Amino acid sequence: MAKASGKDLVHPSEIVDANVDVVMVHDLTGPLAVEAFKKIGVDKVWDNKKIVIILDHQVPAESVKAAELHKMMRKFAKEQGIVLYDVGKGGICHQVMPEKGHVIPGNLIVGADSHTCTYGAFGAFATGIGSTEAASVFATGKIWLKVPSTVKINVKGQFQNYVTPKDLILHIISEVGADGATYKSVEFTGPAIKNMNMSGRLTLCNMAVEMGAKNGVVEPDEVTTHFLKGRTNKSLPTFDSLKSDPNAKYEKEIDIDVTELLPQVAVPPCVDNVKAASELANERIEQAFIGSCTNGRIEDLRLAAQILKGRTVKESVRTLVIPASKEVYSLALKEGLIEIFTDAGAMVCGSTCGPCLGGHIGLLAAGETCISTSNRNFIGRMGSKEANVFLASPATVAASAVTGKITDPQTLEANRK
Amino acid sequence: MKIHGKAIKFGDNVDTDVILPGKYLTLIDPSELARHALEGIDPSFPEKAKRGVIIIGGKNFGCGSSREQAPLALKYAGVQCVLAESFARIFFRNAINIGLPVVDCKGISTFANDNDDLVADFDLGDIKNLTTRESIHASRLPQFILEILTDGGLIENLRKRLKKK
């Protein structure tokens, strides 16, 4: 934040006027941003190379209304010379942004989507904003930000089989609370994070907002460099400048050993209401959803496929698998995962946010229950306000799809014949 | 800036999915959005809000998605301002940016009840309950935020600033 505001040093609570490196909008927040931009009275955006538009929430268009909004976004992108990832070319914004090299460590990124905090996994400062503010950034390239204090989460230990970064972040949110990190920065650090792949780090940072955080962040390292290789021709900063100062002051520190951590499930209607999957074993489900910006990556699909291979999902369970991007979809196809899913009786859809926000594909009726790898279980999130959404890892969702009840994947796999 | 209105009270963690469910996000006309304001908690809310109300919220008001349609729906339904124990940060910024006054106020959830007659003075950070004849201190918003609100939102404020240049 100091670098972005031309200062040597900034302190918590200080308000800075920061230069934005990249701003992203999608099909649900973009139209209001474009309308607001037109009212500002400038013809051209400040820098068309620093704006990214991704159509992902209601694609392919699920209604004439959505189609009109998509048309409006395409027109704006063309007029201004802004890159737009259209249907079938990109996927979910928070997966496409890193895949296509729009996320660089040390950058200041804002996005008109609350899960923009995902990009902190690369050591970028990234946070969610609204449409009007995105319009203001389109015009000026600047945004005011309050420097947050930081909560440090030290994670050590080895994950057990079928226990994942999703289980870790659900556990962290239950410890911190749904508003426990409001306005704060959450830094994930320690040996277990160092050993974690990019996919896991993205899952952690993605859900930082579910404890109210302004951003989540992981120090960039060789795992980061490896992921970015061949994805961007922008020069990467030296990571030394992006490491936490050894004498950094934290508002709070939390130590976690993942060795004893078991598969976790967030019980509706709060993300911080978390129990072990085994405690919910009698909970019947009608739908299982594997996908979203939280858990729709190739590693997530591999894990789900490992559980579903040679099995079929319960007759009474609709199982939806939605790869987070075209790249993930293609890889899953090459690796034979898509065949495992369809053989098991799951439906595989093209990359979209889909049921996560109750926009389209796989909505729930009153009285129905879904177990989902997504990030929110609020009332009415996936359709009817009398439906229930439980949140869990891809392993737990896949295991539950097989039995028709919330199921600990460790138990299911222990009984594999 | 002083706002006078009747209180409607909600609890903790009122999220943007109950303020405006995802299925309405393809609506961009604010008056259409207003018809679904707080539908997830109380479908009769738009009818109640018509007279111009003040929402009293608990902790973490507006948590969840970045959808600006949530504060827009409230504003156009007739909500004059939101006073809450605390706000989720994107909702807080969005509300200010669209010109819906919001301020956090510790103790507000026990200070006011449904239908209490309230006056919120945003310049002083002072809330008066005319029904109970009590008053309470809210946070004071920084001057530049008060200016955005007085101008009616960020776009109007930005137009003004760009003209000055």
**Total count of domains within chain A:** 2
Contact, B39 vs B15, CB < 8 A?
no
pLDDT at A99: 97
CB contact under 8 Å between B162 and A40, yes or no, is yes
Residue after which a domain boundary falls, among A256, A281, A299 = A256
Rounded to the nearest 5°, which phi and psi values hold at B152? 100, 5
Q: Which domains does chain B have, with CATH numbers?
A: 2-164 (3.20.19.10)
CB distance B138 to B123 below 8 Å: no
Residue of chain A minimizing CA distance to B70: A130
Determine the distance in angstroms separating the CA of A186 from the nearest CA of chain B, rounded to an integer. Answer: 15
Do A153 and A248 sit in the same domain of this protein?
A: yes
Average pLDDT, chain B: 95
Does A148 lie in the same domain as A63?
A: yes
Q: What is the pLDDT of residues A8-63, one digit of tens each?
A: 999 999 999 999 999 999 999 999 999 999 999 999 999 999 999 999 999 999 99
Chain B's closest residue to A31, CA to CA, is B28
Instruction: Quote the tokens at residue B84.
Output: 């809450």
What is the pLDDT, as a whole number, of residue A240?
A: 86
**Contact flag A57-B63 (C-beta cutoff 8 Å):** no
Q: What share of chain B is helix, strand, coil (3-state, %, to 5)?
A: 35, 25, 40
B28 contacts A42? CB cut-off 8 A: no
Judged by a CB distance cut-off of 8 A, whether residue B109 touches chain A is no
- Alpha carbon A395 to its chain centroid, in Å, reads 17
Model pLDDT for residues A231-259, shown as the tens digit of each residue: 998 888 888 889 998 889 999 999 999 99
Q: Does residue A290 sit in the same domain as residue A250? A: no
How many angstroms separate the CA of residue A187 from the nearest CA in chain B?
18
Question: Among residues A215, A232, A256, which one ends one of the domains?
Answer: A256
Share of chain A above pLDDT 90, in %: 94
> Is-contact A370 A283, C-beta < 8 A?
no
User: What does R_g of chain B's alpha carbons equal in angstroms?
Assistant: 15
Name the band, by pLDDT with cuts 50, 70 and 90, for residue A296. Answer: very high
Residue in the block written with tokens 């809310």: B45
> A169 and A96, same structural domain?
yes
Paired tokens of A314: 């319960």
Mean pLDDT across the stretch B4-24? 95
pLDDT in tens, B62-102: 999 999 999 999 999 999 999 999 999 999 999 999 999 99
Residue B28 pLDDT exceeds 90: no
pLDDT mean across residues, chain A:
96
Q: Enter the DSSP assignment of A325.
A: B
Q: How far is A181 from chain B (nearest CA, A)?
A: 10
Query: Distance between CA A130 and CA A143 in Å, rounded?
Result: 12
Are A252 and A211 found together in one domain?
A: yes
- pLDDT at A80 (0 to 100): 98
Chain A, nearest residue to B43 by Cα: A385
Contact B86 A178 (CB under 8 A): no
Domain edge (last residue) among A209, A230, A256: A256
The pair of three-digit structure tokens given for residue B155, joined into one six-digit string: 């776009």
Please state, in angstroms and rounded to a whole number, the distance separating the CA atoms of residues B122 and B102: 9
Burial class (CB in 10 A: 0-12, 13-18, 19+), A9: exposed
Query: Do A220 and A276 sit in the same domain of this protein?
Result: no
**Measured between CB atoms, does B70 come within 8 Å of chain A?**
no
Chain A hits for B13, Cβ within 8 Å: 178-179, 270
Confidence (pLDDT) at A359? 85
Burial letters for B123-148: b for 16+ Cβ neighbours within 10 Å, e otherwise? eeebbbbeeeeeebebeebeeebbeb
How would you class A376 by CB atoms within 10 Å of its CB: exposed for 0-12, middle for 13-18, buried for 19 or more? buried
Q: Does residue A240 sit in the same domain as residue A100? A: yes
**Same domain, yes or no: A78 and A98:** yes
Structure confidence at residue B164 as a pLDDT band (50, 70, 90): confident
Is residue A240 located within the same domain as residue A293?
no
pLDDT in tens, A60-74: 999 999 999 999 999
Residues A224, A364: one domain? no
Contact B94 A380 (CB under 8 A): no
CB-based contact B158 A139, cutoff 8 Å: yes
Q: Contact, B32 vs B55, CB < 8 A?
A: no
Q: Rounded to an integer, what distance in angstroms lies between the CA atom of residue A359 and that of residue A65?
A: 12
Q: Give the total residue count for chain B.
A: 165
Per-residue pLDDT tens for A156-194?
999 999 999 999 999 999 999 999 999 999 999 999 999
The residues near A82 (Cβ < 8 Å, ≥ 6 apart) are: A45, A48, A51, A52, A53, A76
pLDDT of A388 over the 80 cut:
yes
Tens-digit pLDDT profile for residues A196-219: 999 999 999 999 999 999 999 999
Based on the fold, state whether residues A249 and A285 are members of the same structural domain: no
Tokens 């609506």 sit at which residue?
B27
Query: Does position A417 have pLDDT exceeding 90, yes or no?
Result: no
Q: Output the pLDDT for position A241.
A: 84
Specify the pairing of strand A252-257 against strand B2-9.
unpaired
CATH of the domain at A120: 3.30.499.10
Domain span at residue A175 reads 3-256
Residue of A nearest to B68 (CA): A130
DSSP strand E in chain B: where?
2-9, 53-57, 79-84, 102-104, 117-121, 126-129, 134-137
Residue A60 CB: number of other CB atoms within 10 A?
14
The closest alpha carbon to A198, from A81, A297, A281, belongs to A297
Give the model's pLDDT for residue A323: 98
Question: What's the confidence (pLDDT) of residue B66?
Answer: 94
Phi, psi (degrees; rounded to nearest 5) at A263: -55, 130
The answer to whether residues A51 and A154 belong to one domain is yes
Please state whether the predicted TM-score (pTM) of the whole model is above 0.90.
Answer: yes
